[in-house]
Amino acid sequence: MHALAPTGVTMSRSEARDGDFSSYMHARQPSLMRTAYLLTGDRHTAEDLVQTAFAKLYLSWDKVNDRGSVDGYVRRILVNEHNSLWRRAWKRRETSTDEPPDHPHHDAYDAGTGAELWDLVQTLPKKARAVVVLRYYEDLSEAETADALGISIGTVKSQASRALATLRERAPHTLNPREEDR
Amino acid sequence: MNDTPPTGLAGELTRQLHAQVDQWHSAPLTLDDVQGKARTIRRRRAAVTTGIAAVAVLAVLLPAGLVLDAPGSQRPSPAPSPTEAVEPTPNPDGTFPLTLDVPEGEVPATGYLTLDGQQFVTQSGRSDLPGHVVQIAPYDGGWVGIRAGDYPPTGAQVVVLDADFEEVSAVLGGSALAISGDGGRVAWVEARGNGDDWTVVNAPTDGGEQIRTPTRPDTQVEGFLAGDAVATSHFENPDDDYSYGQATPEGEFDAIPLAGYQYVGGVSEASGLVAGQTKFLGDSTCSEVRRTDPAQPQLVFETCDYRLSGQFSPDGRWLIGYATYSDLGSPTLAILDATTGDPVVEYVSSRQQADAAVVHAAAWEDDDTLLAVVEQGGEQAVLRLEADGAATRVSDVREAQMSIEFFLPQHLFGQ
């Protein structure tokens, strides 16, 4: 899997390692950045989070023998790093303002109700929000979500159920169809 | 991955989460960006490891008797400025001095409470509080706190404040407020009606739906367990040890097999461990860490070197260890490995009476940093204590008159 230099000269081990890591980082970065934004609701915090997650992955790159497991590994770093932002959580609460959340993008589908639902997602407790993002954006199974968050499948179920109940209670009627949620 | 597309609100949620970010592009990170961040992380890790190694090496090389004659009571140089970093200097035995004579540092991110001033001091400033609030946590866009006073039979009220710290409601309650590791939930005990109707309240800090579990009047919350359960304790009768239970997310009570604990110091939702004192030997104590999962072996370790009456770090890796026996505050404070009991760092008071210091309370500011209310020479202050031995004073200094002048929001009042 290690690359060769364009001249055909074999790269040094560290160059090959860095090339290997860079390829992975560039491929995976957009997706992780989106997940981080959904977890944090703030562009700058999301960028910091992804940079930290990649830095920690970089430090462990030689130890990750199974390249197939890297996606799950870096996602776990991302989520754990987000969960350990204890100080920031308190700071956010102390300095909370009436400013609306940062909206990076509204597409044509969004006639306003979408932004409203997104606002509601941002009010969920951190753990419930992480479950929502991994289950309904990343499309992970309950077991995969439990693994990424380091919690039991039962907790994933209860958090997801409670989060949907909260959203259902607060969402506008137009976003509240009487269909059974999975 | 899921094969079946979600329907209903879940389907709408999936669509809207994608709509929020699928077209979003941010400036790409470069390898240089990541390597720079990695160097910072590596330096930070090395600093902690060096501190731990220094403790271990010095403990082996130097005879313990040197402690008495060593310049352990020498005070470090005065703080050059509030923000300048000062290399921590260990005692000859590898411990670090417990003293108020340390550099000033930033106000804790979690703030602190002053008893006389009735204020909540945070990095944003000082806020006046309605009475002697001894614990506080964000709740429902404002705050929830425990207010101490003449409120029989518990001596405490649960008070809900708005964002400006104005009182919204107050009810008779238990004397402790438990905060979950991620700060997403809080729990307390409150009484309604004429004081006969007691309930464990487990609430999301965003003010969402509460989980309410009926309980007996002398119940105390001890902390959060995995799965949003709340550990509680109560006396069976005045001659017995405490009994323990858990208020489940379903609003029911389950027993926790913690027979033999004289009292519990901390529970960890992250690691599923519980710590507390098991033996009182007259002038010393022994403590144990056990697993709360009955399917696993219970005992993790026993120690008679530290009293485990403090909390686990939010990530469950570390545990506070106090002096094995003390009447008026602990002259030592250790950060222990929560699975082995081995000390990572230990802060120790001078043995000279004039410089003697004690810890009245300690709580975690984050996964790696402790806050402690420390008294020395008739004065009291809040210190930030780190795993590499670094200490800073993060509050003003107040005269102590047989009283506790500072309270830490996460420290269970009465513990």
The reply to whether residue B124 touches residue A126, judged by beta carbons under 8 angstroms, is: no
B318 has which bridge partners? Answer: B337
- Give the pLDDT band (50/70/90) at residue B188: very high
C-beta separation of A163 from A128 below 8 A? yes
Q: For A19, name the nearest residue in chain B, comparing CA atoms only.
A: B31
B125 in A contact zone (CB under 8 Å)? no
Looking at per-residue pLDDT, the higher value among B227 and B52 belongs to B227
The reply to whether residue B367 touches residue A86, judged by beta carbons under 8 angstroms, is: yes
DSSP A4: B
Q: Helices A70-83 and A43-60: crossing angle, nearest 10°?
A: 130
Which residue in the set B29, B122, B365 is minimally distant from A51, CB to CB?
B29
CA-CA distance, A50 to B280, in Å (whole number)? Answer: 49
The H-or-E segment that residue B185 falls in is strand B185-192
The two most distant CA atoms of chain B are separated, in Å, by 74
pLDDT in tens, A118-174: 888 888 877 788 889 999 998 898 888 887 776 777 778 888 888 888 888 877 665
- Give the pLDDT band (50/70/90) at residue A5: very low
Q: Which pLDDT does position B331 carry in this prediction?
A: 93
The reply to whether residue B14 touches residue A137, judged by beta carbons under 8 angstroms, is: yes
A101 in B contact zone (CB under 8 Å)? no
Residue B14 C-alpha, separation from nearest chain A C-alpha, in angstroms = 5
| Residues 248 through 277 of chain B touching chain A, CB cutoff 8 Å | 249
Q: Which pLDDT does position B60 carry in this prediction?
A: 30
Q: Which of A101-110, B163-172, B239-248, B405-414 has the highest mean pLDDT?
A: B163-172
| Residues 49 through 88 of chain A touching chain B, CB cutoff 8 Å | 50-52, 54-56, 58-59, 83-84, 86-88
Q: Alpha carbon of B1 to those of A32, B81, B307: distances in Å?
A: 17, 54, 47
Looking at per-residue pLDDT, the higher value among B294 and B307 belongs to B307
Q: Tokens for B199, please give them.
A: 């309930």
Q: For B179, name the nearest residue in chain A, comparing CA atoms only.
A: A86
Say whether A37 sits in a helix, a strand or coil: helix
Q: Alpha carbon of B302 to those of B109, B307, B314: distances in Å?
A: 33, 10, 21
Residue B239 has pLDDT above 70, yes or no: no
Half-sphere exposure (CA, 13 Å, Cβ side) for B326? 21
Q: Which residues of chain B are within 8 Å of residue A91 when distances are taken between CB atoms?
A: 109, 123
Angle at B23 between CA B21 and CA B24, to 5 degrees: 60
Residue A6 C-alpha, separation from nearest chain B C-alpha, in angstroms = 19
Sign of CA dihedral B386, B392, B393, B394: negative
Mean pLDDT of chain B: 81
The two most distant CA atoms of chain A are separated, in Å, by 65
Q: Helices B31-61 and A43-60: crossing angle, nearest 10°?
A: 60
What mean pLDDT comes out for the span B23-27?
Answer: 76
Determine what percent of chain B is predicted with pLDDT higher than 90.
37
Q: Tokens for A51, please give them.
A: 């940079």
- Give the pLDDT band (50/70/90) at residue B279: confident
> Strand B96-97 relative to strand B343-348: parallel, antiparallel, unpaired?
parallel
Q: All domains of chain B, ordered by start, with CATH?
A: 8-407 (2.130.10)
| Residues 127 through 156 of chain A touching chain B, CB cutoff 8 Å | 127-128, 132-133, 136-137, 139-141, 144, 151-152, 154-155
In single-letter form, the type of residue at position B55 comes to V
B347 has which bridge partners? Answer: B96, B333
Q: Tokens for B326, please give them.
A: 């003390």
Helix, strand, coil shares, percent, chain B, to 5: 15, 40, 45
CA-CA distance, A33 to B395, in Å (whole number)? Answer: 38
What mean pLDDT comes out for the span B327-340?
Answer: 91
Looking at per-residue pLDDT, the higher value among B326 and B169 belongs to B169
Whether the bond between B153 and the residue before it is cis, its omega within 30 degrees of 0, is: yes
pLDDT in tens, B79-103: 233 344 456 788 888 899 999 999 9
Instruction: Please report the ipTM that was assigned to this predicted complex.
Output: 0.75
Question: Which residues, at least 6 apart from A143, have a Cβ–Cβ distance to it below 8 Å?
Answer: A153
User: What ranges make up the beta strands (E) of B282-368?
Assistant: 285-291, 299-303, 318-322, 332-337, 343-348, 357-364
End-to-end CA distance of chain A: 40
Q: Taking CB atoms and an 8 Å cut-off, how many pairs form between chains A and B?
A: 202
